[in-house]
Amino acid sequence: MISVEKANYLNDYRLHLTFNTGESGDVDLQDLIFKYNAAQPLRDIEGFKTFKLDDWSTVVWDCGFDVSPETLYERATGKRIEWLA
């Protein structure tokens, strides 16, 4: 199971993530932030910066928006998780 071990803010809507696999990479979440109404509070960069890691080891925000660790992994590494295919 993929999990996020560390997340750091880079700029704009970008985060640098480290996974339990030892791999790391950068993700740009702007498309998701502007696609889903639940993420509306995060369109303000200051709101976006308030992310944290939850008990499920993924990135979440207090407004209730989150992104699955598998999606983050695929975006950060460019690798497809086979069991999701």
User: For residue 72, is pLDDT > 70?
Assistant: yes
Structural domain including 71 reads: 4-84
Task: Please tell me the total count of domains within the chain.
Answer: 1
Amino acid at residue number 13? Y
The CATH code of the domain that includes 71 is 3.30.2020.10
What would the DSSP string read from start to end of the chain?
A: ---EEEEEEEETTEEEEEETTS-EEEEE-HHHHHH-GGGGGGGSHHHHTT-EE-TTSSEE-TTS-EE-HHHHHHHHH----GGG-
pLDDT of res. 81: 84
Average pLDDT value for the chain: 94
78: left (phi over 0), alpha (psi -120 to 50) or beta: left
Q: Which two tokens stand for residue 24?
A: 């790391």
pLDDT tens across 23-52, in order? Answer: 999 999 999 999 999 999 999 999 999 999
